[in-house]
Amino acid sequence: MTWMNDVRAGFNVICRCRYDQDMTGELQVIGACPLDCPDTCSWVVTVRDGEAVRLRGNPDHPFTRGALCVKVNRYLEQVKAADRILYPMRRVGPKGAGRFERITWDEALEEIATRLRSIIDEYGGEAIWPYQGTGTLGCIQGEGGVAGRRFWNVLGASRHDLNICSRAGRIGLTYTNGTGGGMDPEMLASSKLIILWGTNPLTSGHHIWKFIQEARAAGAYVVAIDPIRTRTADQADEHLPIRPGTDGALALGLLHVVLEAGAEDRDYIAGHTLGWEEFRKEILAYPPSRVAEITGLDEETIRALGVRLAHTRPTAIRATMGLQRHSGGGAALRTIACIPGVTGDWRHPGGGISYLTVGDSLLKPDSRYDLLAKPVRTLTMTRLAEGLEDTEKPVKCLWVYGANPVVSTSDQTRIRRALSREDLFTVVMEHFPTDTVDYADIVLPATMQIEHTDLHVAYGNMYVMWNEPAVPPPGECLSTTETFRRLARHMGLTEPCLYDSDLELAEQLLSSDHPYLAGITVDRLRKEGWVRLNVPERFMPFADGFPTPSGRLEFVSERAAADGHSRVAGYVPSMAARTADTPGVAEKYPLTLITPASHTSLNSSFGNNPELRRRAGEPKVLVNPADAAARGLTDGSPVRVYNDVGEFTAELEISDRVRPGVAATTKGRWLKHTPGGATANAVVEERDADMGRGAVYHDNRVQIAAL
């Protein structure tokens, strides 16, 4: 009963109530929400007589403050859901049909070991693609760390580039600031102008809102820049319905107004930035009149925000991933990050930009790539179809964990075709019978967060969290780490580090010498549940300079130039913006489809929850009244959304929430719960953002017609 020992080791503090040897009584266990969300909440699980009976936000945590979200409030329902996968299974029907028979773990391990060995013998280790997603951000069990990596390295499997989410923006920001990290969002409380740029926090991470409200109570003005009037935009003082993929131009236009007002911070520019003269020329090429044409915003609106920006210190920009899911998205973040360099906002507490809090991994990278006998190729998460279609160096085993690519990855139809290949051995470790599970040869039952140990570092706040298992796993579920330990043993692998325990892994990860982690140990985390990073309460990230090659904020970046981008930050239009007037494209596919976060799911997680599905209703696509009228479409009618890549069906909602030229739906729906059996990613092309091969989920041209 190792899980019990684990619990008991942290018993004194984590478990504040009585918990008898025979598991009677009540226990409170502190854990962390594992989902891919900036907030990484601290939660408390109440365990009564060995059963989890309640899960709530930790009232003591400064960022969570007792609140979870619409989805995670139902986490226990998911843990106990009737469709939870509890046993290993083997496919009995055709691929895609989702018909399985229960098998034992021994049978599963034996079949897997045999198949892996024969694939390695015939094609080499690189024929294995360990396809890991962001189902959990845990540093032990998930995306945040080492889960399975050592095992794959011993086998010589291909590397997997998990670039689907925030990569383009992170790279863009890094050219300017040297890191994707920035402001502590708690500092928003001290801001006077808050620009919510391509972000919808009231849906995609609401815990930041209380700091924004605090700022407002002290007089701050809040602006949302988004092609959709989201629930966040509804709450803002002002909404700028920008044309998608034109944010870089808006950044330059706002700075143009700052220069006109003579409000640039010359001392700051001289002391802390690089390449001002060149960047200034770039700004001067974007007067508000030109920017109005590019962005579809009124010139007066741009001027008014520019004047506000010129005269309001501190100004904070909160940007998240929305605006970088474009072919010019990396450049957009790079250029927006130049704004505080011009206004000098980094020197004012409450000023600057916040994208990720901790831009680069603080933890000691312990994936042990040194275990690879020879260098191997890297396969790209955003290019699943392409990878599976490669015939020269074929993928023969796809191992999916923490991911649901049939729903979440571009070019859905191609992916389903590729997953149907009879010669592809597909293993999926999962909680639920997802659309991806339907294509598996072997399904392995995975533990959920309250059943395993994990360590989390948030990407939207300044805390490290410990997740103590609260209850034993149901059925025959195993954690990711335990599955790989057993498989390694079954295959007779001798590398000792494959057998490290979860606590050893946590200790290794925390043994980083990064100053933010000073004094943060496993013991302390297990006692306290969460610890703030070792940074001041009023954290000023670039007080000692920028981690760029020059030590300055770089308006001009040699690294960017070396990577094939412009030396100077500027505007790179997205594909949709670029082709808006291109003959042949503009008439055929006149609308830009954007597919952001749904309020009732987390990517595809919770897509099977009955109550959340009921609340979400039928899939909808929103278009502006002008675009509906032009097509003679009526509100509530069924429509096809299509392009050369594919199509999906939805109910039309005519709404002035979207600007003309834009169609909007949300991500995350399961195909099997959707009429027509296809979802938004059926029309998203497998194409790269400008940086890091990031995805282009909001940068696709489509047409809409009555069904």
Ligand X SMILES: Nc1nc2c(c(=O)[nH]1)N[C@H]1C(S)=C(S)[C@@H](COP(=O)(O)OP(=O)(O)OC[C@H]3O[C@@H](n4cnc5c(=O)[nH]c(N)nc54)[C@H](O)[C@@H]3O)O[C@H]1N2
Site for ligand X in 491-510 (CB under 6 A): none
- For position 669 contacting ligand X by CB under 6 A, the verdict is no
Q: Within a 13 Å sphere around the CA of 605, how many CA atoms are in the beta-carbon half?
A: 24
- For position 79 contacting Mo ion by CB under 5 A, the verdict is no
**Six token digits for residue 621:** 């696509």
Task: Name which of 324 and 624 has its Cβ closer to Mo ion.
Answer: 324
- For position 359 contacting ligand X by CB under 6 A, the verdict is no
- For position 404 contacting ligand X by CB under 6 A, the verdict is yes
Give the residue, chosen from 119, 292, 321, 488, that forms a contact with ligand X under the rule CB under 6 A. 321
Give the residue, chosen from 165, 212, 478, 658, that forms a contact with Mo ion under the rule CB under 5 A. 165
**Six token digits for residue 230:** 């989201």
Site for ligand X in 19-78 (CB under 6 A): 34, 36-37
Site for ligand X in 598-637 (CB under 6 A): 598-599, 601-605
Taking residue 484's Cβ as centre, other Cβ atoms within 10 Å add up to 23
Task: Name which of 303 and 667 has its Cβ closer to Mo ion.
Answer: 667
> In 3-state terms, what secondary structure has residue 239?
strand
For the bound state, the minimum distance from the C-beta of residue 388 to ligand X, rounded and expressed in Å, comes to 15
**Six token digits for residue 521:** 């140990």
Task: Name which of 254 and 597 has its Cβ closer to ligand X.
Answer: 597
Give the residue, chosen from 6, 184, 186, 247, that forms a contact with ligand X under the rule CB under 6 A. 247
Q: Using CB distances below 5 to 8 A depending on partner kind, what does residue 434 bind out of ligand X, Mo ion, none?
A: ligand X
From the list 51-59, 195-203, 212-220, 544-552, the region that binds ligand X by CB under 6 A is 195-203
- For position 429 contacting ligand X by CB under 6 A, the verdict is yes
For the bound state, the minimum distance from the C-beta of residue 587 to ligand X, rounded and expressed in Å, comes to 22
- For position 381 contacting Mo ion by CB under 5 A, the verdict is no
Q: Where are the alpha helices (DSSP H) in 337-408?
A: 339-343, 384-389, 405-408
Nearest to 334, CA basis, from 263, 271, 279: 279
- For position 520 contacting Mo ion by CB under 5 A, the verdict is no
Instruction: Characterize 248-271 residue by residue with b for buried, 16 or more Cβ atoms within 10 angstroms of its Cβ, and e for exposed.
Output: bbbbbbbbbbbeeeebbbeebbee
Instruction: Characterize 662-687 residue by residue with b for buried, 16 or more Cβ atoms within 10 angstroms of its Cβ, and e for exposed.
Output: bbbbbbbbbbeebeeebbbbbbbbbb
Task: Name which of 383 and 659 has its Cβ closer to Mo ion.
Answer: 383
From the list 424-432, 464-472, 496-504, 532-540, the region that binds ligand X by CB under 6 A is 424-432
**Six token digits for residue 410:** 């571009």
Site for Mo ion in 28-47 (CB under 5 A): 36
Rounded CA separation 494/56 (Å): 42
Omega before 287 within 30 of 0, i.e. cis: no
- For position 412 contacting ligand X by CB under 6 A, the verdict is no
Tell the burial category of 277 from Cβ atoms under 10 Å away from its Cβ (0-12, 13-18, 19+): exposed
Q: Using CB distances below 5 to 8 A depending on partner kind, what does residue 595 bind out of Mo ion, ligand X, none?
A: ligand X
List of E strands, 16-136: 26-32, 42-48, 51-57, 89-91, 100-102, 128-132
Residues found near ligand X in the complex (CB under 6 A):
34, 36-37, 133-136, 141-142, 164-165, 197-200, 203-205, 225-228, 230, 242, 244-245, 247, 320-323, 325-326, 401-405, 407-408, 429-432, 434, 446, 480, 594-599, 601-605, 667-668, 680-681, 684, 697-698
